[in-house]
Amino acid sequence: MIEPFDDTYFMKKALQEAEIAFEKGEIPVGAVIAIDNRIIARGHNLTETLTDVTAHAEMQTITAAANFLGGKYLQKCTLYVTLEPCQMCAGALYWSQISKIVYGARDEQRGCINLKTKLHPKTTISGGVLADEASALLKRFFVEKRNLN
């Protein structure tokens, strides 16, 4: 029997996606979606690359997972994302009926928790997984961006 991976394992994969975003000059947020101990979708922010304000890591990953599964509902799936989802992404996650959301760093200003965004009644959310690593990457990005301007 294969031992199940833990939340840290999947969040490390999401952090790898965030690093890819960082290298592209995107705000470094990454995400993966897993089902049955297997990653079925990966994504990172592409708002600058696609000149699309909706191209958040979560949105990219939701689309990839739905394509993989051949349907719009992500029941029995878990999203691992390095930053707490915003209202827009939380709304999309609501409609996807995803079972679980695990995030790294909190987004005190724009995150779905402080904004009291409703999630699907069957969705659970937890955070703080590798939060220090996710926060450090975001801080490094914004420090470097400020120093370039």
Residues flagged as binding site for Zn(2+)? 56, 86, 89
86: closest CA among 116, 60, 66? 116
Binding-site residue set = 56, 86, 89
What Rg, from alpha-carbon coordinates, does the chain have? 14
Q: Does the active-site annotation cover 58?
A: yes
Catalytic residue among 17, 26, 58, 84: 58
Burial grade of 144 (CB within 10 A; 0-12, 13-18, 19 or more): exposed
- Which residues have a catalytic role annotated? 58
